[in-house]
Amino acid sequence: MVCNSCLRSVIVQTGHIGTLLTPKRVHLRSVGRTSHVGAGLTFWWNREFQTSAKMMVDTGATASQGPVVNMFPEKDDDGGYVSGGWKSEDGRLSWGYSSFRGKRATMEDFYDIKTSKINGQTVCMFGIFDGHGGSRAAEYLKQHLFENLMKHPQFMTDTKLAISETYQQTDVDFLDSERDTFRDDGSTASTAVLVGNHLYVANVGDSRTVISKAGKAIPLSEDHKPNRSDERKRIENAGGVVMWAGTWRVGGVLAMSRAFGNRMLKQFVVAEPEIQDKEIDEEFELLVLASDGLWDVVPNEDAVSLARVEEEPETAARKLTETAFTRGSADNITCVVVRFHHDKADPANPQASA
């Protein structure tokens, strides 16, 4: 039997609300937009778009860890937009997502957002997972990557080491879980982990994370393409080959040089992340994480310019997916926008910034 203190959940879907957690308040903010405050977060959804999200609060992790709030969007089944957004109770952060199947027959993009307090520190995690050859690897990362990271014994003391080891172990776990199947799909992962004011961005594959600092777009990851000189050298040193087949591909097959999964190419296509870390100051305005369905047609500078003019990150994320589609992106398009509110946070009176 699962006790309420071990598992509490809130499920929110368009036209239906089921809750086992008493909300602080529920009110309408404007026509077509509903706001619901619970579990220390404000979240909203726009009825003009198909939107669904699930939050699960798990308090059974560790004695020093507060509730972990997961936001798992459901897959889109009709080709429309899926979008949503949240704002932290202290007003320091707001974030939104938008995901669109686009011209593809199937949806292989996934994303994950989690927030928790660990040892008194606020921890927020954002991830984009772009599957190829199927959706199983990307879905596995959504379900397990951040959970595994928070369980790492050195997550708070050596975050970069914890991220690197967790990425690679999760890849091993995924391949083990698929050992009796005939599938050989894979996935990218571009993640941003915010511990207090310290940001860690890790990347495997060709999804990308870009930050806006004083209006300037700064990439915090570099795409793992087979023709990158260091990646080509690594692959060839491992006995692999990089070939041109419409684009540069590992073994003439895979158009990225690092990925989760891809068992047949695992000797060459590793899941070891490249990690950058930054101390967030008042010049950092927002963060954009997206699959290559966006970056193939929207340069970094355009993405930042489009996102900066929107106050709500959900609106910014929707604008980015719509722009990528209208510019001819033929891929699934998914992005997460995170906005930093330096001037609105007041620790002594957090409600003042809400």
Provide DSSP, 123-147: EEEEEEEEEESSSHHHHHHHHHHHH
Residue 72, pLDDT score: 42
Collapsing DSSP to helix, strand or coil, 55 comes out as strand
Residues of the chain whose pLDDT is less than 50?
1-63, 72-77, 345-354
The CATH architecture annotation of domain 7-222+273-353 reads: 4-Layer Sandwich (3.60)
188: left (phi over 0), alpha (psi -120 to 50) or beta: beta
Q: What is the DSSP letter of 256?
A: -
- The domain spans of the chain are 7-222+273-353
12: left (phi over 0), alpha (psi -120 to 50) or beta: beta
Using one digit for the tens of pLDDT, what is the confidence trace for 24-36? 222 222 223 323 2
Distance between CA 159 and CA 153 in Å, rounded? Answer: 10
Residue 88, pLDDT score: 84
pTM beyond 0.75: the answer is yes
- Half-sphere exposure of residue 176: CA atoms within 13 angstroms, side-chain side: 6
Using one digit for the tens of pLDDT, what is the confidence trace for 256-278? 999 999 999 999 999 999 999 99
